[in-house]
Structure 1
């Protein structure tokens, strides 16, 4: 606090001894010591209170910075998610549209069904069953009769 050297303290002590006297000097020295101790504690408490207030202000500033950063990250994540959803939904929507167009082209009078069970029944009803190709019947010739076993010829 104060820059007081040892020689200055000795000079103050000698003057106090002369002015106060040897009987009251120990009592006055004790009182001055207590007052100086209280002053030092008061100064240290004020310093710690000021430091605490500074720390609280810094913590509040850091908290606000973190909240701002969290908000910016949240908005960027939401925009990324919406972009991804759009990227995924775009091909799906175009496929659905193409499928709907194909359905209307196959059966223009039938309305598309919304129930999942009905869609399968409608699809099978709309698509004609594949037909087996016709195979011409082979004519019966004498060769077939000739190659038959001899027991069949006799019968």
Structure 2
């Protein structure tokens, strides 16, 4: 947190010993240690909360991206289904028209009492 070297701490300790005195210095050191511990705990708690919020935000973004992808895939599937239905319908129409055409051709060459094989032989 703070960048204090050994000599800076020695100077602070000597000044505290001169100002506070040897009788009250241990109590002051305990109080300072307690406050430093509380500050470290607070900073750790805030850092943890921020990290949790960042993770939650990332998860929300990932969920939104996945929902967009799912929507895109559903749309693609619906389009494919419509295309397949259209193609099946067109194939059925072609098959029906081919069957009608074949029936019409075979009806042109045969008379009511003849079979199609006999008409072709003639």
TM-score by length of 1: 0.61
Paired position in structure 1 for 2:4: 4
Residue 61 of structure 1: how far off its partner (Å): 1.2
Q: Does the residue aligned with 2:22 lie in a helix, a strand or coil?
A: coil
**Aligned equivalents of 2:6, 2:74: Cα separation in 1:** 65
| Structure 2 alignment gaps of length 5 or more | 108-112, 116-122
1:28 & 1:90 partners in 2: Cα distance?
92
Offset at residue 94 of structure 1 (A): 3.4
Establish whether residue 64 from structure 1 lines up as the match of residue 99 from structure 2.
Answer: no
CA deviations 1:79-137 (Å, max 9, x no partner) are 0111112112212133345657859xx8xxxxxxxxxxxxxxxxxxxxx9x8xxxxxxx
Runs (4+) off by over 4 Å? 97-103
Identify the residue that residue 55 of structure 2 maps to in structure 1.
Answer: 55
SS at match of 1:2: coil
Provide the residue aligned with 1:21 in structure 2: 21
Q: State the match for 1:89 in structure 2.
A: 89
SS at match of 2:2: coil
Question: d(CA) in 1 for partners of 2:2 and 2:95?
Answer: 87
RMSD of equivalent CA atoms:
2.2
Tell me how far apart the structure 1 counterparts of residues 13 and 91 of structure 2 sit (CA, whole Å). 96
Does residue 1:36 correspond to 2:74, yes or no?
Answer: no
More helix by share: 2
Deviation at 1:54, TM superposition (A): 1.4
Q: Which residue of 1 aligns with 2:46?
A: 46
Runs (5+) with no aligned partner, structure 1: 107-127, 131-155
